[in-house]
Chain A
Amino acid sequence: MRVDVHAHYFAPEYVDCLRRLGDPRAESPDAVPGGAPTLARQIEVLDTVGIDLQVLSVSLLQPYLPRAADAVEAARLSNDIYADATRGHGGRFAAFGCVPLPHVDAALAEAERCLDMLGMRGITIGCSVAGRPLDDAAFAPFFAELDRRAAVLFLHPVGQGLVPERDPHGLAWMVGAPFEDTVAALQLVMSGLTTRYPNIKVIVPHLGGTLPFLLGRIDGTVGRRRARGGPPLPFEGDASPLLRRLWYDTVNAHHAALRCACESFGADRLLLGTDFPYMQGAQLQYLLDVPHEIGLTAAETAALLGGTAQALLDIAPR
């Protein structure tokens, strides 16, 4: 069974809602990329490339609005739309629910609704929340609840931070996004969040951004800071074993990067992702082909393409 854990659906009603609530991101033409495919069209693509189940999430359009009531309205709307999608369409879709952070109580309530009532496979949050890092102390109760539930947590860049404001070349999404993934995962580990809440199943997109390439450097820096008597860390030993306890989707993979990720994390931590509708046609097919072309065993490839996700997201075989 082939499972795609990183895909998006930009429901027009949700984008309209964000626009109405004054979210500046909903104004941009980039708010609905890839020709705004319908779910029916999306299924045609799944059939073409041979994906059985696609897990939908809101991408950058997290409902992190300043007024709690607005954030709740937007989150509920998105989750209702996604829940509808998972109930119809011959069961080809599952979903990660979004939550109205930074309003923690409201986010807890909506996470409960998503996981207990709407049948969602997990929760998606941004690599940062309304400009605040994930290790902001205020968010701890939210992570505690996800830990209590052993829930899946899917991170996604929000296109903010890490590049300057004037960005004529589109660096925010070109390189800023993988930087966001890197920093978010590191913050979760270095702050002790993943040690305190070890039951959360964290999925980092884009092969972890740049993490597989930097793993040795991360360990080296941590080790040298410790040796120099730097600020105490909430874990013993290296950071890399803690990073190896996360999962990583394969969006933006190419042969060398996928090999590097397998070497750094192990093929068993990798989950197929496509980033539909940002990737279509040949670029999407490439993501399905490359796991077959880097010398993995048939079992490893099958696990990467869906077996691992099936177990992680508690998906019934079909």
Chain B
Amino acid sequence: MRIDVHAHYFPQEYVDCIARLVDPTVAPTTARAPGAAIDIEERLALMDSAGIDLQVLSTSLLHPNAPDEGDAKAAARLGNDLYADVCKRYPDRFAAFAAVPLPHVDAAIAEVGRCLDTLGFLGVATGCSVAGRPLDDPAFEPFWAELDRRGAILFLHPLFIGFGNELKDYGMQVMMGALFEDSVAAVRLVVSGLTTRYPRMRVIVPHLGGTLPFMMARVANNIEGARRRGAVPTSDVPPRDAFRRLWYDTCNHEPAALRCACDVFGTDRLLLGTDFPYAVGDRFRHCVEYIQEAGLSPAETEAILGGTAQALLGLEAPRA
């Protein structure tokens, strides 16, 4: 079974709601996606052409993180209901990660319950930061405790923010800002002790972990030093092992990066991702091909293309 864990769905009603209640600037980014105009039937044909059985849908950067709790709840509920609808219409082809009305923790916990228990969603999605605050902000602690209690999956996604003016030129915000966000989010989860405190929460970091595989020596040495100095919480789990307890989707197109990620994380931590509708046509199919062409064993390749995700998402049995 081939499973794509990094794919987006932008129903217009939800996009409009986010523009109205949360952030008017994010809507154009969805309209600019190369596959913005591709409808469900065409999307399914594209998935077929890549041999992808199932896509797990998430909202990309359109998170319902409104300052007003009522607005956030309304937006989250709308998005999740629309996602539930498409999953119900195509139960063998689409599943979903829930959007949650953080920073309102109680409301977010309630929506997680609704989505996982009633709507049959496979996990929860958040940004690499939430309403301008890092994931390890103490306010969010009860939310992670709930995901840990449930052994739930947490799928992260960059918001194309942060890093001030330094990335404003040459398209660097797109070129690398998102990947820096992924790296920082993963690092913060580990270095803050969050993953030590909540080991049952299962985290998926997109884009091969951003730039994390390449930086692993520096990151691991720094975290070890910080732990020794008492600057950050101690842990029995060495940093490299802590990062190997997360999962990473393969949205990237570069064999050299994939090889580096395989070496650092292990092929068993990687999950196929495509970033549809930002990749379409040949580029979409290349998301699968570049894994098949990476010189991995057939067993490793099949695990990355869906075997690992099938186990992680609890999809062992064929979906009814």
Verify B218–A174 contact, CB threshold 8 A. yes
Q: A210-B176, A257-B214, A259-B259 are in contact. Are A175 and B170 (CB under 8 A)?
A: no
Residue of B nearest to A210 (CB): B211
12 further A-B pairs in the complex, CB-CB below 8 A; given A221-B175, A254-B217, A254-B264: A162-B166, A163-B184, A170-B226, A171-B184, A174-B191, A210-B214, A210-B215, A212-B256, A214-B175, A216-B252, A252-B215, A260-B257
Please count the residue pairs between chain A and chain B whose beta carbons lie under 8 angstroms apart in the complex: 142
A133–B170 Cα distance when bound, in Å, is: 13
Residue of B nearest to A262 (CB): B256
A264–B254 Cα distance when bound, in Å, is: 10
Residues of chain B with a CB closer than 8 A to A255's CB? 263
Verify B183–A175 contact, CB threshold 8 A. yes
- Name the one of A170, A178, A220, A263 contacting B215, with C-beta atoms under 8 angstroms: A178
Closest CB of chain B to A300's CB: distance in Å?
Answer: 17
Interface centre among B176, B214, B226 (most CB of A within 10 A): B214
Verify A178–B218 contact, CB threshold 8 A. yes
Q: A169-B192, A218-B175, A283-B221 are in contact. Are A213 and B169 (CB under 8 A)?
A: no
Verify A256–B172 contact, CB threshold 8 A. no
Main secondary structure of the interface of B (DSSP, over half): helix
Closest CB of chain B to A138's CB: distance in Å?
Answer: 16
Q: Which of A156-180 contact B (CB under 8 A)?
A: 161-164, 168-171, 173-175, 177-179
- Name the one of A217, A253, A256, A283 contacting B254, with C-beta atoms under 8 angstroms: A217
Residues of chain B with a CB closer than 8 A to A186's CB? 170, 172, 175
Q: A210-B211, A283-B221 are in contact. Are A216 and B176 (CB under 8 A)?
A: no
B93 close to A (CB within 8 Å): no
A33–B248 Cα distance when bound, in Å, is: 35
A254–B257 Cα distance when bound, in Å, is: 14
A36–B20 Cα distance when bound, in Å, is: 56
A128–B164 Cα distance when bound, in Å, is: 14
A168–B174 Cα distance when bound, in Å, is: 27
Verify A217–B253 contact, CB threshold 8 A. yes
Verify A161–B164 contact, CB threshold 8 A. yes
Closest CB of chain B to A131's CB: distance in Å?
Answer: 9
Closest CB of chain A to B268's CB: distance in Å?
Answer: 16
Residue of B nearest to A239 (CB): B170
Residues of chain A with a CB closer than 8 A to B214's CB? 178, 207, 210, 212-213, 256-257, 260
Q: A161-B164, A169-B232, A213-B214 are in contact. Are A221 and B260 (CB under 8 A)?
A: no
Verify A252–B218 contact, CB threshold 8 A. yes
Residue of A nearest to B163 (CB): A162
Q: A256-B263, A259-B259, A259-B260 are in contact. Are A230 and B222 (CB under 8 A)?
A: no
- The interface bits of chain B over 183-225 (1 if a CB of A lies within 8 angstroms of the residue's CB, else 0) are 1100110011000000000000000000101111111011100
A21 close to B (CB within 8 Å): no
Q: Which of B254-274 contact A (CB under 8 A)?
A: 254, 256-257, 259-260, 263-264
A178–B214 Cα distance when bound, in Å, is: 10
A-B contact pairs, 6 of them (CB 8 A): A174-B187, A175-B219, A186-B175, A217-B179, A252-B218, A260-B257
Verify B216–A254 contact, CB threshold 8 A. yes
- Name the one of B170, B187, B259 contacting A187, with C-beta atoms under 8 angstroms: B170
Q: A175-B215, A210-B176, A255-B263 are in contact. Are A216 and B171 (CB under 8 A)?
A: no
Closest CB of chain B to A209's CB: distance in Å?
Answer: 8
Q: A212-B214, A252-B215 are in contact. Are A257 and B172 (CB under 8 A)?
A: no
B38 close to A (CB within 8 Å): no
A118 close to B (CB within 8 Å): no
Closest CB of chain A to B206's CB: distance in Å?
Answer: 13
Verify B171–A260 contact, CB threshold 8 A. no
- Number of A positions contacting B (CB below 8 A): 49
- Number of B positions contacting A (CB below 8 A): 43
Verify A169–B187 contact, CB threshold 8 A. yes
- Name the one of A168, A173, A175, A253 contacting B217, with C-beta atoms under 8 angstroms: A253
Q: A161-B164, A174-B223, A210-B215 are in contact. Are A216 and B180 (CB under 8 A)?
A: no
Verify A256–B218 contact, CB threshold 8 A. no
Residues of chain B with a CB closer than 8 A to A230's CB? 171
Closest CB of chain B to A117's CB: distance in Å?
Answer: 35
- Name the one of A161, A168, A260 contacting B259, with C-beta atoms under 8 angstroms: A260
- Name the one of A183, A216, A222, A263 contacting B166, with C-beta atoms under 8 angstroms: A183
Residues of chain A with a CB closer than 8 A to B252's CB? 216-217
Residues of chain B with a CB closer than 8 A to A115's CB? none
A17 close to B (CB within 8 Å): no
A133–B164 Cα distance when bound, in Å, is: 13
Closest CB of chain A to B260's CB: distance in Å?
Answer: 4
A225 close to B (CB within 8 Å): yes
